[in-house]
């Protein structure tokens, strides 16, 4: 097969030939990068037989050691070749073809995942490390990442910088520096070329030419003191929140085995070579690596995590599991029959849990998860409550043949049925519903069993004057249907964007602003409760409890009131003019 690439003008030119038995394409599929060459069958070569391995199959085949070794070797050889080609482009005439061949023979192409410690301050410099792609963070004077301490004081500044592709670490060793003056770790999956210094120094001429060539295009050796600085406390807070242990795992419930923890970090580190899922609970302590003490989680059918607790419904009861230490889970509470009858789903909002069971929708007070209790009288009777999703002041319950029940939970301990919507009988096998917003409209995505996926528009700026309110009354309309190949039984949840921290002080999203962190549980309590977080919860009434005060009583002067009135008039006029212009 002929290999061609496009030049800057878009013209394709032949650059090589692939012989029979050669593996190709693994660089793109393993690194998730676009293909950089075009392959066509040679006209004079007859038919070409190719074995195509798609990404899912490749992952399965890599569990076979011989295949994995072969594909990894091919990946690294191609990576080495591409790196040497990039060096040739950057170095120009500074390195000859012989120099590049010698460098390729000495170097080793390596791929590392996010947070990998590349070099450590004070350790001997034993190799040059050229960054092929990715990002590296360097700090000096403090341990990097999770070991940064907060006890050094908020006024102390530390050196720090960030390096990308084309930079080389270790060049200072060629000028006599013996140990690393900084620590460096990876911000994402990164490919590097490692050149052992002992072998490089054995060829003095090559060593000198490499030092000059690399120094010309690398910035890493230009700032040995790392002048970019950041506060230790800021770094500590940011890294501590990002590395919270709770978010390192996927939590799976199985009706036979119970709760299973799977390492999710391997999917987030940017390294395509380690994407294997494994159970994380110690099998010596937890049979088969699953948490199911005395069969408490047998028959598990749903799980929701709020704070450091997992709320798991089973065929018999609701089980609350403490995940403060994810690898040492423990049962914190249980609510069973006769209070709950075959619970199937639970949704958590603020201090309350909303449970769908055989009798309908019930409410549980979760102010103290270890002392969770069913709220007496808080029941909306429904014939077939299969699933529940809560969005602001409404709970949406999947009701099989009855469609979707919309329940007002503005007062959680006094829920009331707002409406049942079935699109004139079209929604008649509803198993699950999720709510999400697109632009200014709210939508419900419904798994309607044998009918497939349904989309309901709940609010619309075109038909609802109240659409922009905090929680307008839904006016559902069936707007789309997609027939699935089999029964639509479940639908995934959309991305939460309303909050960066839940009521328990746990982070539910990571933003790019370094140094920010969510409130801790204690800080949340001080914001929500009296007596420094130990007293009653603050409440707000819908109607004011006292008469409005006049300007004099409120301590506002007549002139201040006049200024306020004039400002209000100006804003109103400006808004009127903008609206008039828009209509024109």
Q: What is the mean pLDDT of residues 236-246?
A: 52
- What local confidence, expressed as pLDDT, does residue 146 receive? 42
Give which of 78, 29, 77 is closest to 52, Cα–Cα: 29
CA distance 495 to 393: 19
Whether pTM > 0.75 for this model: the answer is no
Helix, strand or coil, per DSSP, at residue 455: strand
Decide which of 281 and 557 is more confident: 281
Q: What is the mean pLDDT of the chain?
A: 81
Decide which of 571 and 42 is more confident: 42
- What local confidence, expressed as pLDDT, does residue 412 receive? 96
- What local confidence, expressed as pLDDT, does residue 555 receive? 52
- What local confidence, expressed as pLDDT, does residue 88 receive? 87
CA distance 22 to 50: 10
Residue 307, both tokens: 């704070």
CA distance 275 to 522: 37
- Given a contact cutoff of 8 angstroms between Cβ atoms, the answer to whether 134 and 191 are in contact is yes
- What local confidence, expressed as pLDDT, does residue 243 receive? 47
Q: For residue 80, what pLDDT band results from cuts at 50, 70 and 90?
A: confident
Q: In this predicted structure, which of 45-59, 227-241, 285-299, 551-565 has the lowest mean pLDDT?
A: 227-241
- Given a contact cutoff of 8 angstroms between Cβ atoms, the answer to whether 171 and 209 are in contact is no
Share of residues in the chain with pLDDT > 70 (%)? 76
φ/ψ bin of 153: left (φ > 0), alpha (ψ from -120 to 50), beta (otherwise): left
Q: For residue 528, what pLDDT band results from cuts at 50, 70 and 90?
A: confident
Q: What is the mean pLDDT of residues 304-313?
A: 93
Among 69-83, 86-100, 237-251, 561-575, the range with the most confident prediction by mean pLDDT is 86-100
Residue ranges and CATH numbers for the domains of the chain are 2-61 (no CATH), 93-233 (2.60.120.10), 242-425 (2.120.10.30), 496-539 (no CATH)
Decide which of 40 and 213 is more confident: 213
Residue 300, both tokens: 């598990």
What is the DSSP secondary-structure string of 236-266? HHHHHHHT-GGGGEEEEEETTTEEEEEE-GG
- What local confidence, expressed as pLDDT, does residue 578 receive? 43
For the sheet containing 302-306, what is the strand order? Answer: 302-306, 309-313, 317-322, 330-336
**pLDDT (tens digit per residue) in 474-496:** 999 999 999 999 999 999 988 76
For the sheet containing 345-349, what is the strand order? Answer: 345-349, 352-357, 360-365, 373-381
Q: What is the mean pLDDT of residues 118-122?
A: 89
- Given a contact cutoff of 8 angstroms between Cβ atoms, the answer to whether 92 and 139 are in contact is no
Q: What is the mean pLDDT of residues 446-465?
A: 95
- What local confidence, expressed as pLDDT, does residue 349 receive? 92
**pLDDT (tens digit per residue) in 373-416:** 999 999 999 999 999 999 999 999 999 999 999 999 999 999 99
Q: For residue 431, what pLDDT band results from cuts at 50, 70 and 90?
A: very high
Helix, strand or coil, per DSSP, at residue 570: helix
Q: What is the mean pLDDT of residues 259-272?
A: 77
Share of residues in the chain with pLDDT > 90 (%)? 40
């Amino acid at each position: 097969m002929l290999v061609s690439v496009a030049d800057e003008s878009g013209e394709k030119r032949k650059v090589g030939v692939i012989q029979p038995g050669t593996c190709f394409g693994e660089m793109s599929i393993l690194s998730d990068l676009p293909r950089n060459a075009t392959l066509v069958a040679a006209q004079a070569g007859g038919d070409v037989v190719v074995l195509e391995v798609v990404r899912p199959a490749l992952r399965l085949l890599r569990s076979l050691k011989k295949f994995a070794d072969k594909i990894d070797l091919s990946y690294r050889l191609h990576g080495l070749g591409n790196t040497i080609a990039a060096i040739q482009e950057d170095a120009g005439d500074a390195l000859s073809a012989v120099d590049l061949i010698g460098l390729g023979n000495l170097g080793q192409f390596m791929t590392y995942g996010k947070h990998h410690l590349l070099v450590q301050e004070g350790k001997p410099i034993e190799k040059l490390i050229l960054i092929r792609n990715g990002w590296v963070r360097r700090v000096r004077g403090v341990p990097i990442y999770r070991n940064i301490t907060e006890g050094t004081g908020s006024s102390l500044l530390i050196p720090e910088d960030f390096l990308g592709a084309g930079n080389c670490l270790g060049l200072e060793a060629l000028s006599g520096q013996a140990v690393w003056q900084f620590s460096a770790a990876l911000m994402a999956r990164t490919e590097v070329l490692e050149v052992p210094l002992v072998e490089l120094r054995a060829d003095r001429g090559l060593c000198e030419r490499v030092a000059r060539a690399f120094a010309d295009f690398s910035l890493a050796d230009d700032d040995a003191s790392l002048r970019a600085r950041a506060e230790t406390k800021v770094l500590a807070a940011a890294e501590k929140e990002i590395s919270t242990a709770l978010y390192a795992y996927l939590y799976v419930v199985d009706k036979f085995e119970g709760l299973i923890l799977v390492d999710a970090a391997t999917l987030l580190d940017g390294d395509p070579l380690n994407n294997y899922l494994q159970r994380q609970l110690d099998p010596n302590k937890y049979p088969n690596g699953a948490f199911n003490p005395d069969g408490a989680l047998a028959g598990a059918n749903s799980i929701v995590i709020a704070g450091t607790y997992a709320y798991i419904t089973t065929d018999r009861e609701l089980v609350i599991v403490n995940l403060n230490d994810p690898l040492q889970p423990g049962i914190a509470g249980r609510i069973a029959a006769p209070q709950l009858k075959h619970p199937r789903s639970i949704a958590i909002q603020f201090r309350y849990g909303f449970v769908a069971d055989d009798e309908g929708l019930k409410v549980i007070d979760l102010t103290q998860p270890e002392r969770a209790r069913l709220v007496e009288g808080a029941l909306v009777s429904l014939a077939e409550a299969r699933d529940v999703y809560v969005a602001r002041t409404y709970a949406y319950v999947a009701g099989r043949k009855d469609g979707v029940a919309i329940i007002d939970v503005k007062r959680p301990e006094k829920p009331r049925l707002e409406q049942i919507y079935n699109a004139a009988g079209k929604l008649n096998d509803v198993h699950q519903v999720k709510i999400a917003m697109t632009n200014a409209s709210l939508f419900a995505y419904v798994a309607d069993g044998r009918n497939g996926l349904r989309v309901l528009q709940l609010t619309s700026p075109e038909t609802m004057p109240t659409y922009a309110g905090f929680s307008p009354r839904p006016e559902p309309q069936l707007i789309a249907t997609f027939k699935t190949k089999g029964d639509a039984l479940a639908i995934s949840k959309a991305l939460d964007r309303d909050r960066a921290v839940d009521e328990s002080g746990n982070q539910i999203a990571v933003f790019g602003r370094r140094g920010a962190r969510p409130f801790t549980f204690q800080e949340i309590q001080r914001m929500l409760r009296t007596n420094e977080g130990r007293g009653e919860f603050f409440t707000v009434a819908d109607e004011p409890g006292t008469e409005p005060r006049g300007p004099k009583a409120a301590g506002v002067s007549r002139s201040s009131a006049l200024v306020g009135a004039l400002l209000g008039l100006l804003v109103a006029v400006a808004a009127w003019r903008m609206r008039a212009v828009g209509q024109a």
